[in-house]
A and B are shown apart, each in its own frame.
Chain A
Amino acid sequence: MTLGIADWFGPAEWQAIALSLRVAVVATLLSLPLGVLAGYALARWQFPGKQLLNGLIHLPLVLPPVVTGYLLLITFGPQGPGGRLLDNLFGLSLAFRWTGAVLAAAIMAFPLMVRAIRLAIDAVDPRLEQAASTLGAPRAWVFVTVTLPLILPGLIAGAILAFAKAMGEFGATITFVSNIPGQTQTLPSAVYAFLQVPGGEPAALRLVLVSVLVSMTALLLSEILARRTAHK
């Protein structure tokens, strides 16, 4: 009897892995443009409230995740102002759905992404951008042809780090969207759930291995890329 890779995990475990991947990919991609904007603003612009913005972005890094989750719940829950606004405008509901898990993961991963992008932008000599503008290039063109290629390794490093963080997000997610199998039960939530039932430990262990593997790979990759940016 041969065992294919599909047979290593039970259906509930597969569901959790697939959901986590989907949540992490969507959260990373959606927050990337915003992360570039925030990184650029913090690195290059001077504006009132800059320190406040910096603090807000980094808050999820130091706040207990359960607090972030609770704040999300009262803001974007069905009765929260944000939740009602999204429902009225787009018919989009976040509470207790995978879309809510995306929001929680994105917010928790955002500081890591912004830090990496900001460091990459700090390393770009603004005089190169000046040189490009003296050659006739409008600001947006300078960004796309000079700044973006130079920060690309840092950008990818930040995205990978954010992806790994989003894969592993637990506290804010379980507080905001609970732990519904197939809906909001991400990989860490599933590990937690398996540990609550007798005989669930082997399944939990398998998911833990996946988690360690994904995190280690992401850390290594982002470290290599960050070093490449620093050497430029």
Chain B
Amino acid sequence: MTLSLDIRHQRDAFTLDVQVQAPEGVTALFGRSGAGKTSVVNAVAGLLRPQSGQISVNGHSLFDSAKGIDLPTHKRGLGYVFQDARLFPHLSVRANLTYGTRFAQSRPGPSTEDVCTLLDITPLLNRRPATLSGGEQQRVAIGRALLARPRLLLLDEPLAALDTHRKTEILPYLERLRDQLGLPMLYVSHSVAEIARLATTVIVLDQGRVVQAGAAETVLSDPQMVRQLGVRQAGALVPAHVIQHHADGLSELEISAGRLFLPRMDLPAGARTRVRILAQDVMLATQPPQGLSALNILPATVLSLKPGEGPGVICQLRFGQDLLLARITRRSAQALDLQPGRQVFAVIKSVSVDPVDVGRG
């Protein structure tokens, strides 16, 4: 386990009681604001001292109330990217980047050049933080954390303060960290889209407790999670690989349930990826529909039906080797006589898969 954490902390009326086992890769901490996500990350970083429990990274104990271990923040060997970049205003970008290097000499890690290339920040080196855009500042903050050669990178809503355009600008860099450096990350977010794109493991927090934890594909396709994620955000994560790009602007992908046609994506043929299919973008039919403009009509099997608070029903489906969620009305579910085990056809409008939600997996 990269990160093993079991902490309890009481503050006013709020109780944090969290157990986390994070394997390699990106572990996302998901939850509404006030769920305790930032407290967990601060406890790992040593900025918050839990009343009891233990925290270890790669088997190396950082905090253990029973043994009286509480390593100060600067000795924990972690990197922390905050929501606000928190660059040092009196230092140049270069001096910001190398601030932590003198304390990290003994650990292996990327060089300044590697990091600058990875994050495209070489042209910014002689500038002052105040002259950078929000996206640039956050890239420098990520680079600064990387150059401290962390054993684990903590990111607390690193994109929340940025507009959509800047978010899409930073996400590929975070994917590069995951894929090229193999750096374990603990990623806090309340955006399902970000998590769907980055996370290998998802831990869902609610009111200071873990309510669900597991592989991203499983957690995001769990009908029980719909309330946590929000109906509009609920959707399955399906592994795919690119077959070919067609001349009419569509890309053809293979998924375990068959072939999927999407608007042209910026990935070479053969590349592996994950597509996120929102529950509200899936329609169900009991017969193969005829004369329909939708391109993607794939067979699926109903696994369960979960009524929501309104007129809707969340239907979980076996979709090849994967899972799929569909949000339909209760009336339709009755009209089609949907039952667990029923064979259906899932209709996915090809244009409904947001390119932001297509990440390398």
Give the B-binding residues of A (Cβ under 8 A). Answer: 125, 127-128, 130-139, 145-146, 149-150, 232
Per-position binary interface string of chain B over residues 128-150, scored 1 when its CB falls under 8 Å from any chain A CB and 0 otherwise: 00000000000000001100100
- Cβ of B30 within 8 Å of any chain A Cβ, yes or no, is no
Checking B75, B77, B99, B102 against A132 with a beta-carbon cut-off of 8 angstroms, the contacting residue is B99
- Cβ of B45 within 8 Å of any chain A Cβ, yes or no, is yes
Are B45 and A136 in contact, with the CB atoms below 8 A?
Answer: no
Please name the residue on chain A nearest to B80 by beta carbon: A134
Please name the residue on chain A nearest to B130 by beta carbon: A232
Provide the bound-state CA to CA distance between A183 and B77, in Å: 58
Please name the residue on chain B nearest to A138 by beta carbon: B74
Are B74 and A133 in contact, with the CB atoms below 8 A?
Answer: yes
Q: Which residues of B contact A135 (CB under 8 A)?
A: 74, 79, 99-100, 103, 144-145, 148
Q: How many residues of B contact A (CB 8 A)?
A: 27
Please name the residue on chain B nearest to A149 by beta carbon: B90
Please name the residue on chain B nearest to A146 by beta carbon: B88
Are B73 and A134 in contact, with the CB atoms below 8 A?
Answer: yes
**Nearest Cβ distance between residue B143 and chain A, in whole angstroms?**
12
Q: Which residues of B contact A136 (CB under 8 A)?
A: 74-75, 77, 100, 102-104, 148
**Nearest Cβ distance between residue B76 and chain A, in whole angstroms?**
8
Checking A134, A139, A232 against B89 with a beta-carbon cut-off of 8 angstroms, the contacting residue is A232
**Nearest Cβ distance between residue B166 and chain A, in whole angstroms?**
20
Q: Chain B contact residues: over half helix, strand or loop, or mixed?
A: loop
Are B99 and A134 in contact, with the CB atoms below 8 A?
Answer: no
Please name the residue on chain B nearest to A135 by beta carbon: B100
Checking B73, B79, B103, B104 against A130 with a beta-carbon cut-off of 8 angstroms, the contacting residue is B73
Please name the residue on chain A nearest to B76 by beta carbon: A134
A-B contacts, 20 of them at CB < 8 A, read: A127-B86, A130-B47, A131-B80, A131-B82, A131-B86, A132-B88, A132-B99, A133-B46, A134-B73, A134-B76, A134-B78, A135-B103, A135-B144, A135-B145, A135-B148, A136-B77, A137-B100, A139-B72, A139-B74, A150-B89
| A127/B82 contact (C-beta < 8 A), A135-B145, A135-B148 known | yes
**Nearest Cβ distance between residue A8 and chain B, in whole angstroms?**
43
Please name the residue on chain B nearest to A127 by beta carbon: B86
Provide the bound-state CA to CA distance between A128 and B129, in Å: 13
Q: Which residues of A contact B90 (CB under 8 A)?
A: 149-150
Q: Which residues of A contact B75 (CB under 8 A)?
A: 136
Which residue, A127, A135, A146, A149, has most C-beta atoms of chain B within 10 A?
Answer: A135
Per-position binary interface string of chain B over residues 79-102, scored 1 when its CB falls under 8 Å from any chain A CB and 0 otherwise: 110101010111000000001101
Q: A127-B86, A131-B86, A136-B74 are in contact. List 6 more A-B contacts (CB 8 A).
A: A125-B86, A134-B76, A135-B99, A135-B144, A136-B100, A139-B72
| A137/B99 contact (C-beta < 8 A), A130-B47, A131-B80, A131-B82 known | yes
Q: Which residues of A contact B80 (CB under 8 A)?
A: 131, 134
Provide the bound-state CA to CA distance between A150 and B87, in Å: 13
Checking B45, B82, B84, B103 against A137 with a beta-carbon cut-off of 8 angstroms, the contacting residue is B103
Q: Which residues of B contact A149 (CB under 8 A)?
A: 90
Provide the bound-state CA to CA distance between A232 and B90, in Å: 9
**Nearest Cβ distance between residue B231 and chain A, in whole angstroms?**
35
Provide the bound-state CA to CA distance between A138 and B71, in Å: 12
| A128/B88 contact (C-beta < 8 A), A134-B80, A136-B74, A136-B103 known | yes
Please name the residue on chain A nearest to B107 by beta carbon: A136
Per-position binary interface string of chain B over residues 96-137, scored 1 when its CB falls under 8 Å from any chain A CB and 0 otherwise: 000110111000000000000000000000000000000000
The 6 closest A-B pairs by CB, nearest first: A136-B103, A135-B100, A134-B80, A131-B86, A133-B73, A135-B148
Please name the residue on chain B nearest to A148 by beta carbon: B90
Provide the bound-state CA to CA distance between A134 and B99, in Å: 11
- From 58 to 78 in chain B, residues with beta carbon under 8 angstroms from any chain A beta carbon are 72-78
Q: Which residues of B contact A138 (CB under 8 A)?
A: 74
Provide the bound-state CA to CA distance between A130 and B45, in Å: 10
Provide the bound-state CA to CA distance between A131 and B154, in Å: 12
Are A134 and B79 in contact, with the CB atoms below 8 A?
Answer: yes
Per-position binary interface string of chain B over residues 37-60, scored 1 when its CB falls under 8 Å from any chain A CB and 0 otherwise: 000000001110000000000000
Provide the bound-state CA to CA distance between A176 and B72, in Å: 48
Q: Which residues of B contact A128 (CB under 8 A)?
A: 86, 88-89
Q: Which residues of B contact A146 (CB under 8 A)?
A: 88
**Nearest Cβ distance between residue A127 and chain B, in whole angstroms?**
6
